[in-house]
Chains A and B, each alone.
Chain A
Amino acid sequence: MLSVDAVSRSFGDRQVLKDVSFQVGAGRMTGFVGANGAGKTTTMRIMLGVLGADSGEVRWQDRPLTPAIRQRFGYMPEERGLYPKMTVADQIVYLGRLHGMTATAARRSTDALLERLSLTDRGGDLVEKLSLGNQQRVQIAAALVHDPEVLVLDEPFSGLDPLAVDVVVSVLRDRAAAGAPVLFSSHQLDVVERLCDDLVIIADGTIRAAGSRQQLRADHASPRFRIEVDTDAGWLRDQPGVALIDLDGASAVFDLASDADDQEVLRAALARGAVRAFGPVSPSLTEIFREVNQ
């Protein structure tokens, strides 16, 4: 388990991280979301040791991080960068070797990754000759070449086409399945929602919510229901304990007062005719995100 423990950091007078603590569990895909400037990148840089923390520390398996441990981390910085005048394969092999791989191991791993990312036939091309999307794939390969024990990826999906997103997602899932903690930030909440097991939400340099996706949903679920009937659902307006949120002919979304019984509403609906659908609505990540950001 990778844990961030009460980390604070200021730039000049501006405190960008205040007592930030959260965990990334082994084998878990953890989404890290927050508005621009909330402190995601700073947190990730501190985790990788690119930036120092003013106080607090980052621990891996209950030990403070050392450069030797960090060598086994895979990192994809927000600001992407590769040597433009180096070939794709040489570049990835070089980065693998900087992480302590032997030349043969680095080459083998590079070949496998390029294959996986459908870049095999571009291995000999200079990076500057690639399209942005392909450069992005190379960047992913650069983070994964040394078979890292921990992955920290800052916006790994930005700039990727949907097909590439799927490829990257499957690669990351494999890593998580192999037991690596995977932390990734993203603006695309729908991607995070689809992908993550756990979620950490940061705003203004403080952690607003953290936990498993189901847990967060349950925590932030208001007693909201959706119903679909055959005729007009306008009668719900007069049903005791029901606050209508949205009414569209035969379907409606409503909140239920805490002392009201959902089965009561269902019986009332059945008394009026056929019910096609009835059930609780769990909040989307976007809604949770909005809520904790307020």
Chain B
Amino acid sequence: MTTFAAARLVAAREVRMKLRDKTFIFSTVFFLFIAIASTVVPALIDGGATKVAVTDRAAASALQSQGFEVTAVPDDAAAERLVRDGTVEAAVVAGPRVLAMDETPSDVVEALSVAPPVQLLNPSAVNPFLKFVVPFALAFLFFITSFTFGMQIAQSVTEEKQTRIVEILVSSIPVRALLAGKVAAMTLLAFGQIALVTLVSFVGMQVADVDTAVISQVGPAIGWFLPFFVLGFVMLATLWAGVGALAARQEDIAGASTPLQMVVMLPFFAVLFLTDNEPVMRILSYVPFSAPIAMPVRIFNGETAVWEPVASLLLLAISAAVFLGIGARIYEGSLLRTNGRTSFATAWRSRSTV
């Protein structure tokens, strides 16, 4: 049997077990829920035309033509009654005056006023709400998936060590096949989860009738995010597997993985807090650990030249290959040391001869 065939068997088992795992199902449902909530719900709350009671026939037709839901009332007293009992949000009475309960209905006021023409000399390309949400969502997605899936990789490696089945596995297939199968399975599942969440978000935006301009603005950033995600994830996944092999028991994982946790966490916070700092973001978008988050954010903000994502992706691919080697070596060097935690240095030196 080839290493590839063996890796495929290992991956198939991992995927099967994971799909039966309640934690995995729950986290997927949770992400989908968030995706739906953050795309559909605001549109729903926001949706529906403002209801206005109007006495004046001319004003009524003017408001109606601008999409308000107009209720014609005979006099000011009737209009005020409707506002007070909540049937309408605002009323336009003689004067013209606008009645409302506790908040100025700016959309109604705007509709009735004549605004001077405005010319922005440096218009922001991005809607301010999206400008905050998109970087946050990308950073959060990458952080949370690489963290939770990474932990699960480490746990599944440690489980095999702790239950000692690893000796049977290693006597039947190459160690590399075991590692590759595990990493491939987790990458597939993580990517599947992300793709599903992305898809649902897009469908949600369509259903909620979000401006197509917004979708086309978010599109390229997400399109680039996916390849960055896959490479970034694979790079980290192998390291997580190495960390899992260093630990002999589940209790050791937290300690053994602390440096790696930092490597996952720091880029997340850096991108989150320094989104507006262009020089820093430029650097972050090339550092392999933060590139999967920082580069899509820069693309979204329209700060990148055409070649930049390509260069950064290439750099990420190279470092992923390097870290794949390091992770694999740690994994191989410590997998069969079942007595207690193995140090990084020991694992590095004592690669088994298999």
Contacts and interface: CB of A to CB of B under 8 A. Distances in A.
Nearest to A128: B163
A244 B159 CA distance: 59
A281 B159 CA distance: 52
Nearest to A91: B165
A257 B170 CA distance: 55
Interface stretch (B105-113, B139-147, B171-179, B273-281): B171-179
Q: Is the interface of B mostly helix, strand, loop or mixed?
A: helix
Contacts of A84: 163
B184 to A, nearest CB: 16
Interface string B1-18: 100001001100100010
Nearest to B10: A98
Interface stretch (A70-78, A183-191, A193-201, A245-253): A70-78
A86 B170 CA distance: 19
Given A52-B352, A67-B174, A83 B168 contact: no
Contacts of B354: 49-50, 52
Contacts of A81: 160, 163-168
Contact of B170 (A50, A71, A99, A100): A50
Contacts of A50: 167, 170-171, 336, 352, 354
Interface in B324-354: 336, 338, 352-354
B169 interface: yes
Given A50-B336, A100-B1, A86 B167 contact: no
Given A94-B9, A97-B9, A83 B165 contact: yes
Interface string A56-72: 00000000000100110
Interface in A2-54: 45, 48-52
A63 to B, nearest CB: 18
Q: Is the interface of A mostly helix, strand, loop or mixed?
A: loop
Interface string A101-144: 00000000000000000000000000000000000000000110
A79 interface: yes
B338 A73 contact: no
A85 interface: yes
Given A50-B354, A75-B168, A98 B173 contact: yes
B17 A98 contact: no
A100 B174 CA distance: 13
Contacts of B164: 77, 79-81
Which interface residue of A50, A80, A86 has the most chain B CB atoms within 10 A?
Answer: A50
A151 interface: no
B166 to A, nearest CB: 7
A14 B133 CA distance: 61
A82 interface: yes
A233 to B, nearest CB: 55
A95 interface: yes
User: For this complex, into which size category does the number of interface residues on chain A fall?
Assistant: 20 to 34
A83 B159 CA distance: 8
Contacts of A71: 1, 172
Contacts of A82: 163, 165
Given A49-B354, A50-B354, A94-B9, A86 B168 contact: no
A95 B160 CA distance: 14
A71 B5 CA distance: 13
A84 B163 CA distance: 8
Contact of B171 (A49, A52, A80, A86): A49
Contact of A98 (B167, B169, B338): B169
Contacts of B6: 98
Nearest to A53: B353
A113 B168 CA distance: 18
Interface in A209-228: none
A52 B167 contact: no
Contacts of A94: 9, 13
Interface in B238-258: none
Nearest to A83: B165
Nearest to B1: A100
Contacts of A51: 336, 352-353
A67 B175 CA distance: 11
Contacts of B168: 75, 77, 81, 95, 142-143
A86 B12 CA distance: 14
A82 B263 CA distance: 33
A94 B159 CA distance: 17
A136 B172 CA distance: 19
A80 B17 CA distance: 21
A126 to B, nearest CB: 11
A77 B170 CA distance: 11
Nearest to B336: A50
Nearest to A139: B168
A174 B13 CA distance: 31
Given A79-B338, A83-B165, A97-B9, A73 B352 contact: no
A159 B33 CA distance: 50
Contacts of A77: 164, 167-168, 171
A84 B1 CA distance: 26
Contacts of B163: 81-84
Nearest to B174: A67
Nearest to A98: B172
Nearest to B165: A81
Nearest to A45: B167
A143 B17 CA distance: 22
Given A67-B174, A100-B1, 12 more contacts: A70-B171, A73-B171, A75-B168, A77-B164, A77-B167, A80-B164, A81-B164, A83-B160, A85-B17, A86-B17, A98-B6, A98-B169
Interface of B: 1, 6, 9-10, 13, 17, 159-160, 163-174, 336, 338, 352-354
12 contacts: A50-B352, A51-B352, A52-B353, A73-B171, A77-B164, A77-B168, A79-B167, A81-B164, A82-B165, A83-B163, A85-B17, A95-B168
